Every structure is written in C-alpha cells, then in structure tokens.
Structure 1
Amino acid sequence: MAHVTAERREQRSNPIQSQVFVLNREGQTLMPCHPARARQLLKEGRAVVHRAVPLVIRLKNRTEAIVQPVRLKVDPGSKATGMALVRHQPPASITVLSLFELQHRGRQISESLTARRHMRRRRRGNLRYRAPRILNRVRSAGWLPPSLQHRIDTTLAWVKRLQRFAPIKDISCELVRFDMQAMQNPEISGTEYQQGTLAGYEVREYLLEKFGRQCVYCEAKDTPLQIEHLQPKALGGSNRISNLVLACQCCNQKKAAQPIEIFLAHQPETLRRIQDQAKRPLKDAAAVNTTRWALAQALHSTGLPVELASGGLTKYNRQRLNVPKTHALDAACVGEFSVLKGWQRNTLELRCTGRGRYQRTRLSKNGFPRCHLMRHKLVNGFQTGDLVKANVPSGKKSGTYQGRVAVRVSGSFNIWTGKEFIQGISYRYCKLVQRGDGYGYFMQTLITHPKEARARSMHIVLSPTL
C-alpha cells in the first residue's frame, strides 16, 4: 500500500459532514455528534428529530448534561457573516464542528425603503396634500439605518439560536476587518504596529478588496501585485492608505519614481479614475466599521465572554494554515490559536428571506399599483418560505425536490432548491419538512483543495520601497 501522509490521514479522519446538535430529554444542550451516530440513535428509537435544518435531535432517556467547552467564532461582513462552532483542545488547538454562512439582505431592505419613500411622495404630491412629519421625528442615540441594523439583529438572533443547540461557553468575533485609523496614520500606535508579525496584513487585504485584485494601470488580473505609491516616497509621499494603490511589477517599474500626473499625462481618464478611487473608502469596509461596536455590544449582552480580534490576524491564520477563503472558514480562523483541525466540512448557508410583506399590491417603476396580492398566506396547509419535500411520481417533472416553496392560490407551487427553480409542482406531492422562519437553508460543499486554493487566490508582494 502506498504511503499515506499525515495530512491525508487527517483529512480522512475528519468527515465533511457537519456535526449534529444533540439535546437531552429536558432540552439541555449536549455535545454535537457525528451524523452516523445520530442516524443510529434515530434508528434505534433512542432519539427523535427536534429540528430538521440545522439538524437537532433530542434523546429520550438521557437527562445529564456533561459537555466540553465550545466556542462560537463570528466573522461579520457587509453581505455575509461567517460563523463557526469549534472545540478547544489543549494547548492551542481547535477542531471545527460546524460551519455557517449567514447571507444578509441589507440591499433589499434599502431598496424597499426607497420604493416606499417614492410611493409616499407620489401619494402626497399627486393625490392629496399631507404635511411632512420629518420635524416630529427624533432618532435615539446609537441609531443605525435599517439596512445596517438588520446585520446586527440577524447575527445576534443566530448566536442566541445556536446557544439553544450547542453548549457555547464563549465567543470570538472579528471586531474590525481593517484598522482604518492605523492605516490612515501608521504612527498612531508606535513602531511595533508595523514591525510585528502582522506587518502590512491589514493594508494588503484592504487594498486587494478596494481595487478588485487587479492592477490599477493596466487592469491585469491573476498576477502578483505590488503596493504602489501614487506620490513617490522620494518626492515626499507617505504611507497613508489614500496614497497607496496596487500595480503589477511591469507597471510599477515603468512608473518608477514619477508622480502619477506625469506618468499618466496622456491618459487623463485613467488618471481621474485612479485619483477618485484612491480617495474613496471601501464601501463594505465602511459598513462593517459602522456596525462593529454595535455588534460587539450586542454579543456582550448574551452574557458570554467575548474575544475581539482583527481582520489582519484572521488572514494571517488562514494563510499560515493554507485554508481556503470562505466566510465560514474566515470565522474559524478568527482569534488566537496554533492548529486548526476538521475544517474540511460542508457549510450550511443561511439566507435571509424575510417573513413576507404587509404590502398588498405590486408597484410599477413609477410607484403606481399594478396588481393585487393574495390576502391569505396559507394555501392548502403551506405558505411561502416553508421547507418542503416534493416527490413527483410521473410526468415531465418527475423526481424528488427539496427546498423553499412559493405558494399560489391555484395550488401549483414553485420550489427553489438552491440550484434550480422548479415551477408548477402540485401541493398534493409536497410534504412539509419545516415551517418557514425567515431563512432559506442551502448546503455548500467544500471542493477546493488547499493547493488549488493557493493557486487561485490572488497574492500580493510588498513593494521594495514600503
């Protein structure tokens, strides 16, 4: 038999399925178990299904609750938040139990508020006069726009929900993805900040996200990039983030120590684009930085110890351990640790869908009602958002489908499986798996090998002048 390396043996010993949550007879949390063990308990009649997605079983005959400490790690983002349940092993090793990716709908909330504002303005201006109420409104201290408050509320809701499923003893959260203040003024925290182990990681990750991982001059992709100074240091340029861009080696050498106005004198459009983009902050980073302290305070309200870390440490851990970049695996790499085990698992995607709307009409692009919606949400025992399993015995759409259902008055439903949209499934073939709770559940399979991840990921090389 061919020699099996330690890494291959470790990957075989760590299954890709997520752990199953376990409760005792009184509803107290126990340690998650392997899916095979959960199937055995269900088959023997020693446990029942407490919740379908994520799978939670409840034991019938066990009352004691002897558990090991489990930590929940959170990597907040503007569009998606990664979460990972890990178990600590001395001295500084952690094992991943489950991975989650929470997809926010902040953009949909912002667009819905804009549409409602336009409709109210049309109604006030065209139909009848209504005095504006803006002078009567007072915003409380710490107010956030609904699209940003949504990120905090949904993240906190899932933290509390996972507390009911697993024995979580503490939380690790990435406080800020980029240290904006330290990047704007590198001398703010002394020379130790730039000369430590994480030297430049905050700046590199910020520039990669801001400039789309491509050269600002020739827009080349999939090539090593270098940090370039718009105003060269030889002419008094600084290391402030507003003076840094990304460039390939060819463009960096061609520009040399020239000011950008001279280097791009014959390309005024490119010069204007680069100057505007350099001064404009990263929108996603600004959204995360706006809500970082509010999220930290919300996590402290759970009563659990909270460890706060930076995005530079997260990226350092991920690159040091050759872990692919996903939101959930970023969460697993948050905080201080040495060894990460069991990260080759599937990720459960939690997609925020909402619980419906009060609006009984659809609007045209000008804000006028164009059709009427159903007044009753329940149709033949199903409502939009329920998780169903449809078994169609014959016909063009014969097969088995499982996903989120969208109901119709006619009884012909649509099912979204996460990969395809199946239309025209009769309610007679549908079986309820779980009632809708405002989220869509989809499984993401991790298929990227660490070596492929290193080859695909864009890397950045420090400029000799930095």
Structure 2
Amino acid sequence: MAVLVLDRHKNPLMPCSEKRARKLLERGRARIHRLMPFSIRLVDRTVNESMLQPVKIKLDPGSKTTGIAVVRHSETMDDATGEIHVTVHVLNLFELHHRGQQISESLTARRQMRRRRRGNLRYRKPRFLNCGNKGKGWLAPSLQHRVDTTGAWVHRLQRLAPVTGIAQELVRFDLQQMENPEISGVEYQQGTLAGYETREYLLNKWNRECAYCGTRNVPLQIEHITPKAKGGSPRISNLTLACRSCNQQKGAQEINVFLAKDPQRLARIQAQAKRPLKDAAAVNTTRWVLFNTLKITGLPVTTGSGGLTKFNRTRLDIPKTHALDAACVGDMDEIRDWNKPTLAIKATGRGSYQRTRLNAYGFPRGYLTRQKRIKGFQTGDRVKAEVTQGKKIGSYLGRVAVRASGSFNLQTAQGVIRGMGYRYCKVIQRADGYGYSQPLNPKEAELRSARYPSPA
C-alpha cells in the first residue's frame, strides 16, 4: 500500500511507496504520524516545495460494507484519434464495515425492554408529548450511521492526501425500471450496459446461488419463474437465477410442476421472489443523503452507476471486492496497481453511556465503572505488550479492552489474550472508534507470528 505523507505543518503531500517511507524514517527525515492508515510526517519539507498530482477518493457505498479507493488519475491523448485515454493508478484500498445492524438490534432491544417495564411491570399513564418531530429528511440511526462514518473517513483522507475530487457510485437498483423494462428508451435497453443493473440486483437478492439446487461458484443464468411461453412477464418479481442444468431441466414447465417433489423449496422461492432486497432499500434511501454530505466538502463530486462499475470490472478482468468496485467507479480506460492489500476498517463505536448490564427482564444487574480510562488506557487503544515473565512471555500487538482491576484483554491477530497486566502495555495509537485488520501474505504472516507469538 502507498504510505500517506504530510509535510512539517501537517499539510498533505503525495503518497509514497513503503520502501521510500522506510528510507525517510531511517535517515531521520520523517516521523510516524499515524499507524492506521500508516502515514508519516516529513520534518524538512513543506507543501510549497513539493509537486502534487490529482488524487481522487472513490466510493462504492453499501448497506454493510463501503469500499473506498484512493487513486491517481492520468490522462493521455491518442495522436491518431484525438481521444483522451484515462488511466487509474490505485494507491490505497479500504473496506469500511458499518455497524448499522448492531445499532438497529440495540435500539429494538432497548425499546422492547422499556415497553415491558412501563406496560407489564410498572403502570404509567399514557402520554404523547415526548414524541419529537423528526422533520423532513430524517433517517433511522442505523442508516444515518452509514452516511456519517463514510463522510468521516472522506474527511480523514482529505487531511492525509491531496484530494482534488470525489467519485461516488450512485448505487441504485431502479426497481421501477426492473418491474417495467419498457419504461425507458431502447438505447439503454440495448446499449453496452443492458442487463447489468438487473443481473446485479438478482445476484444480491438470490445470494449468488442457483435457486433450484443451491449450487454456488458456477455460471448462473437469469430464469423466468413463470415461463415466457406460459405468459410470464420480464418483471423482477418473476426472475430468479439458475444454473445451466436446472434451467434446461425446467424448460417451459411451471415452477409448481418442476418442484412438485420439493414443496419447501417451492414455498421459499415463491416467498423470496415477492420480497424486495433489503440492502437495496437501505442503499436507495441513503444514496442522495451521502451525495449531499460529500458536496459539503467543497470538492467536485462525480457519480457513476452500478452497471458502469460492473462493466468496467468485467471488461478489465478485475476481481470483485468492495474496494476494487470503488476503484472501478466512473469512466476509465485502464486501471493499474490494483493488486494491493486492503485495509479492513470496522466501526466499533466509542463506548457506551450504559452504566449497567440488564437481565432478561430489562432490570439492572451489576454496574459498570464510570471511568473510561483505566491506568492510562481506554478500550480500543492499540497497544504493544512486552511480557518479560510468567506464562505469557513474548511480544504482542493488538487492541485492548480495559478492566478496573488493571488486568486487560488484548485482541491480537492470533486470538484474545486474557489477563494482560497494564504494566506490560504501551499505547501506540489511541482509540478512534474503529478496529483495523489487514490480510497478510505468507511471508508477512510468518514474520509477524515469529515476532508476536500466539498466546500460550
């Protein structure tokens, strides 16, 4: 991955390679500014003494995971045709994992416990003056969280890289167009991107597997539940995915005839066909709110469709990941340096206002400490532990969970180490509400396992 670089006044400069960053640190020309994402600060240079190139942040918003790519664009003109050739150079790849589902489940549990306490156990006269006006544009907390965390990371990357523009995939499963394919012109239906939106929607809705046999990792074909020969329409509610074998076996049969011997699968397919894609609804709800949030940054924001993203990825033979989908957003002719490790960023929150645990009936059981910081440490801090005695002798690196007793838990790449004394720990990065992990190649994994052994 490219190393993010700041000047002596913390202004962003062009990212550099890991090799160059290592030399700058060894020669004393730079200091480590941040570990995740790794960035350094030069001590002998300012932004006025450096040349900057156009850097863009590309986003692939998702319901559970948002792909982020920091790229550099270069344009060349073909002398023969006069056309502009756009090349995208990938600098960094990130995958931001949201906790919207966790927020929704927590609010649901709190609401149910509150209703039980007030309704079944403690009578309270009904009142309706405490229902605030949500106002126009209000989003559920689980949806607003997706917008806020994505916007926060865009602002953070702005401070670490000389960003000149933002490209967002305007994720949109156009359900109206899918339900009625004749609603738009022939140019879209028969153009280069014809069928990409519908296929991508079906792949997500049917979990990328054959609806009839459950086979995965095989080419899937779009199949009409009610055959066209029997009057079946091309609406999205009448489409599913099938492998070639099942599609040929079904042919023009009715689905209740084809699955007469498997009534459970028949009922599941019929129910799933009528059920809209939940993630699509969440993304459709937040896409314009995120777009307006990005415009507040003052940078030019461009958009591209999901169909165009998949077309670019397929045409350039790029594997499907959230981060690489982000790199493929918008118009491009070529993409380079895409085979990089991806930094996984998981939203963990900054703690809780809750001062007690609840039992099954919603009543307090035990009380939590009112101090967030214990012995100078806070849950979520990245620490390095050098244990010199006892059963856990060794060097460890990970995320700490504090206790009032000073005996902490340390989450490392190899597992959880319980009962780590605070005296052995040293903070290397303060908690910022996110957890970080990065897949390692075999050589890096071997070196890290040798330096940071697994717990005994």
Residue in structure 1 matched with residue 94 of structure 2 by the alignment: 100
Question: Residue 80 of structure 1 contacts residue 101 of structure 1 at CA under 8 Å; is this kept in 2?
Answer: yes
Structural mapping, 1:294-305, within 5 Å:
294-305=289-300
Residue in structure 1 matched with residue 105 of structure 2 by the alignment: 111
Query: Does the residue aligned with 1:362 lie in a helix, a strand or coil?
Result: strand
Query: Does the residue aligned with 2:242 lie in a helix, a strand or coil?
Result: strand
Query: Does the residue aligned with 1:153 lie in a helix, a strand or coil?
Result: helix
Question: Residue 115 of structure 1 contacts residue 367 of structure 1 at CA under 8 Å; is this kept in 2?
Answer: no
Q: Name the aligned partner's letter for residue 11 of structure 2.
A: Q
Question: How far apart, CA to CA, are the structure 2 residues paired with 1:94 and 1:220?
Answer: 36
Decide which of 52, 67, 72 is 2:52's aligned counterpart: 67
Residue in structure 2 matched with residue 390 of structure 1 by the alignment: 385
Decide which of 157, 165, 168 is 2:152's aligned counterpart: 157
- Indicate whether 1:55 and 2:55 are aligned: no
Residue in structure 2 matched with residue 335 of structure 1 by the alignment: 330
Question: How far apart, CA to CA, are the structure 2 residues paired with 1:419 and 1:191?
Answer: 55
Question: How far apart, CA to CA, are the structure 2 residues paired with 1:241 and 1:345?
Answer: 36
Residue in structure 2 matched with residue 230 of structure 1 by the alignment: 225
- Indicate whether 1:323 and 2:308 are aligned: no
Cα deviation per residue 1:99-145 (whole Å; 9 max; x = unaligned)?
11111001111111112212322332323525444664211101110
RMSD: 1.8
Query: Does the residue aligned with 1:444 lie in a helix, a strand or coil?
Result: coil
Question: Residue 60 of structure 2 contacts residue 171 of structure 2 at CA under 8 Å; is this kept in 1?
Answer: no
Q: Unaligned regions of 5+ residues in structure 2, if any?
A: 76-84, 443-456
Residue in structure 1 matched with residue 25 of structure 2 by the alignment: 42
Q: Name the aligned partner's letter for residue 52 of structure 1.
A: L
Residue in structure 1 matched with residue 64 of structure 2 by the alignment: 79
Cα deviation per residue 1:376-420 (whole Å; 9 max; x = unaligned)?
111111010111111223433222221211001121111112452
Question: Residue 55 of structure 2 contacts residue 70 of structure 2 at CA under 8 Å; is this kept in 1?
Answer: yes
Structural mapping, 1:238-253, within 5 Å:
238-253=233-248
Q: Unaligned regions of 5+ residues in structure 1, if any?
A: 1-17, 448-466
Question: How far apart, CA to CA, are the structure 2 residues paired with 1:151 and 1:263?
Answer: 42
Question: How far apart, CA to CA, are the structure 1 residues paired with 2:180 and 2:192?
Answer: 19
Query: Does the residue aligned with 2:170 lie in a helix, a strand or coil?
Result: strand
- Indicate whether 1:201 and 2:196 are aligned: yes
Cα 1:419/1:285, change in 2 over 3 Å: farther
How many positions carry a matched residue from both structures?
430
Question: How far apart, CA to CA, are the structure 2 residues paired with 1:193 and 1:316?
Answer: 14
Query: Does the residue aligned with 1:92 lie in a helix, a strand or coil?
Result: strand
Question: How far apart, CA to CA, are the structure 2 residues paired with 1:140 and 1:417?
Answer: 44
Question: How far apart, CA to CA, are the structure 2 residues paired with 1:112 and 1:446?
Answer: 37
Question: How far apart, CA to CA, are the structure 2 residues paired with 1:347 and 1:263?
Answer: 44
Cα 1:440/1:133, change in 2 over 3 Å: farther
Cα 1:250/1:412, change in 2 over 3 Å: same
Question: Residue 184 of structure 1 contacts residue 240 of structure 1 at CA under 8 Å; is this kept in 2?
Answer: yes
Greater shift after overlay, 401-410 or 80-89? Answer: 401-410
Residue in structure 2 matched with residue 32 of structure 1 by the alignment: 15
Query: Does the residue aligned with 2:299 lie in a helix, a strand or coil?
Result: coil
Query: Does the residue aligned with 2:374 lie in a helix, a strand or coil?
Result: coil
Q: Name the aligned partner's letter for residue 325 of structure 2.
A: D
Cα 1:276/1:446, change in 2 over 3 Å: farther
Question: Residue 224 of structure 2 contacts residue 239 of structure 2 at CA under 8 Å; is this kept in 1?
Answer: yes
Question: How far apart, CA to CA, are the structure 1 residues paired with 2:235 and 2:309?
Answer: 22
- Indicate whether 1:444 and 2:439 are aligned: yes
Structural mapping, 1:66-465, within 5 Å:
66-90=51-75, 91-125=85-119, 126-127=121-122, 129=124, 131-133=126-128, 136-445=131-440
Greater shift after overlay, 236-245 or 410-419? Answer: 410-419
Question: Residue 345 of structure 1 contacts residue 445 of structure 1 at CA under 8 Å; is this kept in 2?
Answer: no
Query: Does the residue aligned with 1:129 lie in a helix, a strand or coil?
Result: coil
Q: Name the aligned partner's letter for residue 189 of structure 2.
A: Q
Query: Does the residue aligned with 2:221 lie in a helix, a strand or coil?
Result: strand
The CA deviation at 1:268 is 3.3
Cα 1:406/1:44, change in 2 over 3 Å: same
**TM-score when scaled to structure 2?**
0.90
Q: Name the aligned partner's letter for residue 79 of structure 1.
A: K
Question: Residue 178 of structure 1 contacts residue 312 of structure 1 at CA under 8 Å; is this kept in 2?
Answer: no
Greater shift after overlay, 254-263 or 193-202? Answer: 254-263
Q: Name the aligned partner's letter for residue 104 of structure 1.
A: H
The CA deviation at 1:96 is 0.5
Question: How far apart, CA to CA, are the structure 1 residues paired with 2:274 and 2:261?
Answer: 21
Identity of aligned residues (%): 61
Question: How far apart, CA to CA, are the structure 2 residues paired with 1:224 and 1:59?
Answer: 51
Greater shift after overlay, 253-262 or 432-441? Answer: 253-262
Cα 1:408/1:319, change in 2 over 3 Å: same
Q: Name the aligned partner's letter for residue 20 of structure 1.
A: V
